[in-house]
A and B are shown apart, each in its own frame.
Chain A
C-alpha cells in the first residue's frame, strides 16, 4: 500500500506545525522522516494516522484519498499501526492485554491471537512480564510494548514516532530486522520519525527531511 502525502499543512492557532509536506512512501519501503525537535514530525505522522485533521493538503493510502478535499476517513478505518513517542500505553491493561486488545479489534480467532501474542512476547523479549501493568515496566519495556501493539495486527502501514530512543543496540537491531522482514515479505510501508537517523540511514532507506533548520 503506497502512502502519498501532498502539500500537507497544519497550524495550531498561530503556530505553524507543518508546512506543505510532500512525499511518497512506496510499498515495501522504509521512509525516515528527519528533523529537529518541534519541526512537525509527530504532526505529520498524526495526520497520516487520522489523529489530526490537516488544514490543507491530502493524504492517500493505496491511491485512495483518506484526508483532504473534503474527505476524512477515521483512524480505525485506515488500518495503520502506530508507535507513539511516549508510548501511550493503557494503564489498566497488561502487556498481553495490549496485544490482545488490538488483535480482538482485528477479529482474529482465539488460537491465532494466542499464537501471535506469544510470538510478539518472544520477539520483544517480554516473556517474563506478560501480566505486568505499564507502571511496573521499565522505560525500555514500555517502548517494546508500544512497538508490539503496532506490529500485532501486521498492518500494511506502520508509523513509528521516535521508536528506538529507549532501546539498546541489540534490541534495536532485532526490531529493525523484523521491520525489514515485514516490508520485504508483506510489502509493509514503514514511516519512521526521528531526529537521529544514523542507524536507519545505513539501511539505504528513503529520507524525508522536515523543518527549515536542517543544513
Chain B
C-alpha cells in the first residue's frame, strides 16, 4: 500500500539522506582523488609490475576459498537437508559457529598452532618421517582459513535447496538408477542454483577479505589498499586498486540472476518432502561428517586458543587491560544494531518503487568496495576541523563506519521481511484512520518483530567483529576488541592475544545465541497472537 502521506515522504527523504551520508558519501570521498587525477593515477597503478601478482593472488584466494568452501559445505548441506528436524537444528547451530567467529580469530589460532613454536607443528615434526608440511602463512593457508570460516554459507544454501526439493523427483529416478547417479544427475542439477549462490557469496566474501590475508601475509588488493594508504599515504593509488578488485564482482549479478531464475523454475508446491532413501545410514554418516567439520573449523581453533591462553590468569589480565575495549565493542555493537535496524526499517517502509532501486545499490557500495576503501573515504570525509572533527575524534565515527559497511544487510533484510507481510494488516489500520507513523510502529513493526530481532542480532554480531574499516578510523581512547587484537598480533601470537580472541568469540557466540532466542520467542508470540 502506497499512500502519498506527508509523513511518509518526510521519512523517505530522511532515509535517503542518511543512506547517502553513510554509504555514498564516504565512497565518493574515497574516489575523489582518483577522479581529480584524470586517469593518470589509475593508469600508473595499472602499469605497476605488481599488478599481475596482485590480480592473480586475489583471484586465487577468491576462487580457491569458494572452491574449498563448496567442497566442504555442499555435502554438509545435503546431509543436513536429509536429516530429521531436531538433529538438523542442532548440527546447523554447530556449523553456524565458524561463520560467527571472526576469520581473524581463526587465523590467529592456526598461526598459533602451526607456527614454528606451535603445538600442532611440534606434534608433526616430532615424528621424524613427517616434516613440517603445513605453513601457517601464505596463499594456501589464507585459502584454507577463509574456506573454513565461510563454508557454512555454502552448506546453508545447499540445505535450503535440498529442503525445497520434491522427494518424488529422487524416488522417480531411484526406480531406474542407483543412489550416486541419482545424486549426480537429478539432485545436483536441481540444487546447483543454490550451490552457485552460496559459492558466489563465499567468492565475494573471500575477495573482500582483508584481515586474514594481512595476518597471513598474502598480497591481495584489499591489503594493498590498506598498505598504500597507511604506509605510504597514497590515497589515490590506494583506491586505484579498488577498481581492478571491482572487476571480479562483474560476473556475480549474472550468477545471482541465473540462480534465481532456476530456483523459480524448479519451485514446487510439494517441496520439503524427503524421499524414502534418506534413511538412518545417511543420518549417521551426515552427523559424523558435520561433527568432524565443526570440530576442525571451530573446535580445534578454540581449543588451540584455550591452551595458549592457559592459565586462567590470562583472562584476569584481559579484564584489567582491555575492559574498556570490551565496553567500547559492546556499545558499538548495540548502537550499530539499533540504529541500523531503525534506518533499515523506515527506509524499507517509506521508499517508493523508484527510490528502492536506488537505495539498495547505494547501500551496497561501501561493502563491495571493501572495508579499507570505506575507512579511507571516512577519513577524507570527516577528518576536517570544526564540526566534522567532533565526529571524527569520537566514538561516533566507529558507529558511522559500522553502519556504512553493514546497513546493506539490514536494508535488504528489512525489505524482504516487510514484503512478506500481508498488505491487509496495514490496510485495516489505515481504514480506521491510523497515520503512517502509527501504522509503522503499531502494526507493521510488531508484525515484523521476529525478522527485526534477527536483523538486530546480525548487525550486533557483524559490528562486534568489525575490523576492516575500524582499523583505519579508530579514535584514541575508543579501541574496540578486534582492533586491539590486530594491534597486538604485530608482535606475534601470545597468551594475551589468545585470551582476547577467546573473549571476542565468547561475546559473539553469546550475542548470536541471544538473538536466536529473541527471534524464536518473538515468532512464537506473533504466531500466538495471530
Contact = CB atoms under 8 A, between A and B. Distances in A.
Interface of A: 49, 51-53, 74-76, 78, 80-82, 84, 86, 88-92, 101-102, 105-106, 133, 135, 149, 153
B175 A75 contact: yes
B189 A92 contact: yes
A155 to B, nearest CB: 9
B171 interface: yes
A84 B168 CA distance: 8
Contact of A74 (B174, B186, B190): B174
A153 B276 CA distance: 23
Contact of B266 (A91, A105, A149): A91
Interface residues of B, number: 23
A149 B172 contact: yes
B231 interface: no
8 contacts: A51-B275, A75-B174, A75-B175, A81-B175, A90-B169, A90-B186, A90-B190, A92-B266
A91 B173 CA distance: 12
A105 B168 contact: no
Contacts of B177: 76, 101-102, 105
A88 B176 contact: no
Given A88-B166, A90-B172, 18 more contacts: A49-B175, A51-B171, A51-B174, A51-B175, A75-B175, A81-B175, A82-B172, A84-B168, A86-B270, A88-B169, A90-B169, A91-B265, A91-B266, A91-B268, A92-B190, A102-B177, A106-B176, A149-B172
Contacts of A89: 169, 172
Given A51-B276, A52-B276, A92-B190, A153 B176 contact: yes
A65 to B, nearest CB: 19
A82 B266 CA distance: 22
B176 A86 contact: no
Contacts of B268: 91
A80 B177 CA distance: 11
Shortest beta-carbon contacts, A-B, top 6: A88-B168, A105-B176, A88-B172, A102-B176, A91-B266, A105-B177
Interface in B52-101: none
Nearest to B192: A92
Interface string B153-179: 000000000000010110111111110
Of the listed residues B171, B189, B266, the one surrounded by the most CB atoms of chain A closer than 10 A to its CB is B171
Contacts of B270: 86
Contacts of A88: 166, 168-169, 171-172
Contacts of B178: 76
Nearest to A106: B176
Given A101-B185, A105-B181, A53 B276 contact: yes
Contacts of A133: 265
Contact of A76 (B176, B265, B266): B176
Contacts of B174: 51, 74-76
Contact of A91 (B176, B181, B190, B275): B190
Nearest to B279: A53
Contacts of A80: 175
Nearest to B177: A105
Contacts of A51: 171, 174-175, 275-276
Contacts of B172: 82, 84, 88-90, 149
A78 B177 CA distance: 11
A52 B279 CA distance: 11
A117 to B, nearest CB: 15
Contact of A90 (B173, B175, B276): B173
A92 B174 CA distance: 16
A30 to B, nearest CB: 20
Contacts of B276: 51-53
Given A91-B265, A92-B190, A105-B181, A86 B175 contact: no
A51 B275 CA distance: 8
B180 to A, nearest CB: 11
A8 B186 CA distance: 31
Contacts of A135: 265
A153 B172 CA distance: 14
Contacts of B168: 84, 86, 88
Nearest to A134: B265
Nearest to A146: B172
